[in-house]
Amino acid sequence: RKMATNDEFADLEPLPQDDGPDAVVRIRYSQNFRETMDRFRAILVREEVGERALRLTEHVVNLNAANYTAWAHRRRCLEALASDELWERELEWSAEMAVDNPKNYQVWFHRRRVVERARPDVGAELAFVAEALEEDAKNYHAWGYRQWLLRTLGGWEHELSYCAKLLDDDCFNNSAWNQRMFVLQETGALKDPGAVRTELSFARKHLEAGADNAAPWNYALGLVEASDCAEDAAWGPPPPPPLFFFLG
């Protein structure tokens, strides 16, 4: 989006990028990019954190969503303005940015800070992350955010069911297996023999559907190593020796 060069920034002396006296290869920035960044640098030098500075950061991240400095300054503006309404709007806007930039670390980190202030409904937020994972089931940033969200706002009671659904859709989804183990570790379920037996049965069900799938083998091994259920009868007799190669 083009930033209008209007009276809102008339008092700002644009601060050009300093490439040094002997730049070897100058980047051919568009006029819009150059003008926006020149004003943004001027805002940073002035340490301005008002509403127009907030609007300007939106222009900057629309031009380059990986600009860490713009995201950080945007948070400084929101903190300084201290408006619940602005934090609520930021929740909606950052969701749009996450959809448009699903593998951008800055977007997901920024949303953490926004959620800490806006405190949205955890069910709605988990559903939002689930939508992102529908687009890419192995989105590392979305999974990391989901784990942070569970630790921060809760919602553990439905997470195993969510992972089970993902694994029913794709039993080779290593991210879902990892998330399932994460839930057991974080909730203390690995100390419960009954819960471990249930998980061993869960792994066995998926092995019966495909014994050459390394993921449930590794999951079962992790369960046994992290608990006292190495001899649990629910697991049954050991598999044929060649299959143990999948355990690494």
Closest Cα partner for 43 from 4, 87, 74, 85?
Answer: 74
Q: How far is CA 5 from the centre of its chain?
A: 34
CA-CA distance, 193 to 228, in Å (whole number)?
7
Q: Are 64 and 34 in contact (CB under 8 A)?
A: no
Residue 168 vs residues 116, 127, 133, 183, 190: alpha-carbon distances, Å = 33, 18, 15, 18, 22
* The two structure tokens encoding residue 57: 């950061």
Using DSSP's 3-state secondary structure scheme, residue 118 falls into: helix
Closest Cα partner for 18 from 36, 43, 51, 41?
Answer: 41
Q: Give the Cβ contact number of residue 160 at 10 Å.
A: 19
103 as an active site residue: the answer is yes
Q: Are 85 and 61 in contact (CB under 8 A)?
A: no
Residue 192 vs residues 120, 185, 187: alpha-carbon distances, Å = 32, 11, 10
E strands along 131-184, which residues? none
List 103, 138, 165, 191, catalytic entry? 103
Active site residues: 103
